[in-house]
């Protein structure tokens, strides 16, 4: 899947693009089922809210076949290879949950701020490309972006280890207010199968989910191979140390897996 010139222009201006209907209901159904199975496990890669509800599952592409396919899917790999002009490797892979009633906030932050400070990533030549597993609605904890904030560069941040179960380099209220006064706030929504691509320096956050509706999003953090990390302070299931370029799988690989899965389940 290649980005159009208009999409590239929009991304440059706003710092994100939303692409609808990139994956089928069949593909999303099998990923949702396997995500729930992973959340029920006691693996060290599964981090939980203080309530015990799942918050994020790291590195699922390394131990689950369906997510292994998603981590090599051409509809996700090709746009970032196109953008960076070189092969990419998987810096991080996670399935973020906003469990019904118990999904906590993600504070205002820039992803590259963490990759730079914690992982020694040289430049902001990495970004998230994500897939909505559930419908993301205005009410169930959607991502909130500050458009154009990526143009401010990498901003000063504090290391918040107390607000939630996951430590994060967060932006202070004064910085967020200034950015919002300049760019506003948007909250992209969409059906399962929607793909969201956003710059590593785009300021973003998400509110708690106090509805009965789950909100699961898969994030592939893809980094230009020439820009690989230089520090190894975090566990390798959080910040990967294999800089091998990703070789994309067949476009129908996830569909074929879903059909085999469905037959096996029946």
In total, the chain counts a number of residues equal to: 266
Half-sphere exposure of 212 (CA within 13 A, CB side): 0
Kindly state the percentage of the chain with pLDDT values over 90: 87
Specify the residue for token string 């998400």.
Answer: 206
d(C-alpha 230, C-alpha 83), whole Å: 22
d(C-alpha 46, C-alpha 15), whole Å: 29
Q: Are 187 and 143 in contact (CB under 8 A)?
A: yes
Q: pLDDT tens digit string along 51-94? A: 899 999 999 999 999 999 999 999 999 999 999 999 999 999 99
Query: Does residue 42 surpass a pLDDT of 90?
Result: yes
> For residue 226, which of 89, 113, 118 has the smallest C-alpha distance?
89
| ∠ Cα 255 257 262 (to 5°) | 95
Give the residue-averaged pLDDT of 17-28: 96
d(C-alpha 152, C-alpha 154), whole Å: 7
183 lies in which domain range? 5-265
Report how many domains make up the chain.
1
d(C-alpha 28, C-alpha 31), whole Å: 5
Q: pLDDT tens digit string along 179-234? A: 999 999 999 999 999 999 999 999 999 999 999 999 999 999 999 999 999 999 99
The pTM (predicted TM-score) of the whole model is 0.92
Residue 265's pLDDT is what?
A: 46
Domain CATH number, residue 216: 2.60.120.620
């Amino acid at each position: 899947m290649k980005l159009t010139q208009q999409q590239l222009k929009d991304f440059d201006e706003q710092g994100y693009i939303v692409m609808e209907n990139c994956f089928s209901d069949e593909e999303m159904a099998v990923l949702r089922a396997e995500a729930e199975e992973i959340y029920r496990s006691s693996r060290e890669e599964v981090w939980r809210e203080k309530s015990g509800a799942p918050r994020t599952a790291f590195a699922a592409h390394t131990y689950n076949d369906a997510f292994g396919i998603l981590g090599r899917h051409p509809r996700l790999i090709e746009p970032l290879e196109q953008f960076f002009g070189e092969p990419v490797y998987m810096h991080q892979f996670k399935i973020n949950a906003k469990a019904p009633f118990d999904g906590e906030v993600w504070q205002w932050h820039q992803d590259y701020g963490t990759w730079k400070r914690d992982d020694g990533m040289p430049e902001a030549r990495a970004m998230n490309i994500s897939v909505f597993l559930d419908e993301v609605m205005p009410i169930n904890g959607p991502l909130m972006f500050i458009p154009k904030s990526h143009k401010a560069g990498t901003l000063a941040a504090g290391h918040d280890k107390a607000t939630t179960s996951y430590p994060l380099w967060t932006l202070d209220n004064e910085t967020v207010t200034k950015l919002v006064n300049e760019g506003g706030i948007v909250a992209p929504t969409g059906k399962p199968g929607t793909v969201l691509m956003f710059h590593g320096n785009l300021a973003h956050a998400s509110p708690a989910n106090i509805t009965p509706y789950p909100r699961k999003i898969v994030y592939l953090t893809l980094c230009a191979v020439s820009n690989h990390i230089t520090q190894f302070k975090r566990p390798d299931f959080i910040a990967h140390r294999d800089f091998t370029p990703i070789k994309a799988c067949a476009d129908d690989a996830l569909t074929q897996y879903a059909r085999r899965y469905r037959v096996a389940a029946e």
